[in-house]
A and B are shown apart, each in its own frame.
Chain A
Amino acid sequence: MNRTTPLHRVHEDLGARMIDFAGWDMPVWYDSAIGEHHAVRTAAGLFDLSHMAELFVTGPQAAAALDRSLLIDATAMPVGRARYSMICNEMGGIIDDLIVYRLGDNEFMVVANASNGPVVFDELVERSASFDAIIDDRTDAFALVAVQGPLAESIVLQLTGPELGELRYYRVAEVELTGEKVSGVTAYAARTGYTGEDGFELFVPAEHGVALWQALSAAGEPEGLVPVGLAARDTLRLEAGMPLYGNELTLETTPFDVGSARLVKPKPDWYVGGSALAAVADEPHDFLVGLHIDGRRPARAGYEVTSNDRVIGVITSGGPSPTLNQNIAIARLDNTPMIGDTVHVDVRGTMTSAIVVELPFYRRPE
């Protein structure tokens, strides 16, 4: 029996096609994945992300516990700040990528991927054992609804008041919602997302999830807001060059292999995985590039990439880009090709040429 989010009934009423995603029953699309993708790029999209794990770390040594556990300097984070982070194993392999929000001096919220929530929770508990900090999995206590797209701000502000418009990228604030159905509901509003667009992620108590969704729908539909499923979420993040756990990020990759060397901290013995990462810091690493695939046939994760008949890497994510109207892929390569080079991809037996390009494929207009 799959887990369901507080919005499950809403998705069914909207006629969403539901799939099993990491043990959750989730909408993969409502009407058209490509239409939903374009709506996020041109207007706004509404996402149910309640399957993602909210792990709270609280207590006098909450920051120190996170510093020990993750690739982050939690102690230095001001309250109200969000940071992209990773959790690695002793070998430096990536267990998950995360966003860490500092909600108070002694309170952090760690948002992990749905598939990894239990693993990350267990690791945080173990790694925090000697710290005065409590780890609490509050995934079921929250509904997480995201609004993403160029019109996201004007839609969300209808429920929060104009001050939230001042919230900068990778910041979080506690807000009291206003308006029919959600008046008085307290939310964490974060200016974060996974689409390459401006937008907000709103965390509310689970029992208010449906009301929040309906209030955002009512506010946004006149402006072109549509509900967006996981299929478009994936093509949006792919265009934005954002890694996905299980594709770009795995236990067999280190942060160095996936362009996240900036996350690796200078004091290796202070955190789990630090020594292993320090040991390989100066070795050659794989790296992620973008590929523009020739022709109409998409290249998919797992396909080999070759250059002059030598295998130089593998595609980690690939598919059609609705925005570019072009097949694109992220590939993990060893350090040979350069931006602009032509490589080849084995598309189920057909060698297909591809151009190496920089990530991201898409950057929103200023």
Chain B
Amino acid sequence: MSEIPEHLSYTAEHEWVKLGELTSVGITAFAVEELGEIVFVELPGVGDMVAEGTPCGEVESTKAVSEIYAPMNGEIIEVNELLESSPEILGQDPYGEGWLFKIKTDGGEYALLDAAGYRSLIAN
């Protein structure tokens, strides 16, 4: 069973979200296991305005491409540049060193899943 930290929120697109002054976003251990080894990560640019549910980047494994979706509206403040040179870190530590980007959100309310909700999502 994939690790699903209790203190994070989740989206149906298998992203984790850590709410805060800046909201951190990554992809879940479940998603990483589904993808296999990650060979390339394309992140949004710092300063990009992103919209909830729209693609803002890509993760490529040996086999396939998957899109990264913005979990909320906002501005990209910081991206994890380490992933450009070492995309495999995403697979090794998806909730830590493998974070993707940080957003300054527009302050809206977003329907995110808690750990239990995400656990039941992937169980189905």
- Inside 8 A of B36's CB, which chain A residues have their CB? 17, 28-29, 33, 231
Binary CB contact string for chain A from 319 to 336 against chain B (1 if under 8 A, 0 otherwise): 110000000000000000
Minimum Cβ distance to chain A for residue B14 (Å): 16
In the assembled complex, which residues on chain A have CB atoms less than 8 Å from the CB atom of B33? Answer: 17
Residues on B with beta carbons closer than 8 Å to the beta carbon of A297: 40, 42, 60
Establish whether residues B62 and A319, one from each chain, have CB atoms under 8 Å apart when the complex forms: yes
CB < 8 Å A-B pair total: 35
Complex CA gap A297/B40 in Å reads: 6
Taking A28-B36, A320-B39 as contacts, is the C-beta distance between A34 and B62 under 8 angstroms?
Answer: yes
Interface residues of B in 28-65 (CB under 8 A from A): 33, 36-37, 39-40, 42, 58, 60, 62-65
User: A234 to chain B: which residues have CB within 8 Å?
Assistant: 63
CB of B42, distance to nearest CB on chain A (Å): 7
Q: A17-B33, A34-B37, A297-B40 are in contact. Are A231 and B65 (CB under 8 A)?
A: no
B-side contacts of A29, CB under 8 Å = 36
**Binary A-proximity of B60-96 (CB < 8 A = 1, otherwise 0):** 1011110000000000000000001001000000000
Q: Which residue of A lies closest to B88 (CB)?
A: A34
Measured CB to CB, the nearest residue on chain B to A34 is: B37
List the A residue with the shortest CB-CB distance to B60.
A298
Residues of A within 8 A of B40 (CB): 296-298
Complex alpha-carbon distance, A320 and B65, angstroms:
12
CB distance from A232 to the nearest CB of B (A): 8
CB-CB under 8 A from A231, the residues of chain B are: 36, 62-63
Number of B interface residues at 8 Å Cβ cutoff, please give it.
14
B85 CB, min distance to chain A CBs, angstroms: 9
B39/A33 in contact, CB under 8 A: no
Indicate with 1 or 0, residue by residue over A30-57, a CB within 8 angstroms of chain B CB atoms: 0011100000000000000000000000
With A and B bound together, what is the CA distance between A213 and B113 in angstroms? 43
**B64 contacts which chain A residues (CB < 8 A)?**
300
Given A231-B62, A319-B63, answer yes or no on A298-B39 (Cβ-Cβ < 8 Å). yes
Closest CB of chain A to B79's CB: distance in Å?
A: 16
Q: In the complex, which residues of chain B have a beta carbon less than 8 angstroms from the beta carbon of A28?
A: 36, 63
CB pair A320 B62 closer than 8 Å:
yes
29 sampled A-B residue pairs with Cβ under 8 A: A17-B33, A17-B36, A29-B36, A32-B37, A33-B36, A33-B37, A33-B62, A33-B63, A34-B37, A34-B62, A231-B36, A231-B62, A231-B63, A234-B63, A235-B62, A296-B39, A296-B84, A297-B40, A297-B60, A298-B39, A298-B40, A298-B60, A300-B65, A319-B62, A319-B63, A320-B39, A320-B62, A348-B58, A348-B65
6 additional contacts, CB 8 Å, given A296-B39, A297-B40, A348-B58?
A32-B37, A34-B62, A296-B84, A297-B42, A297-B60, A320-B62
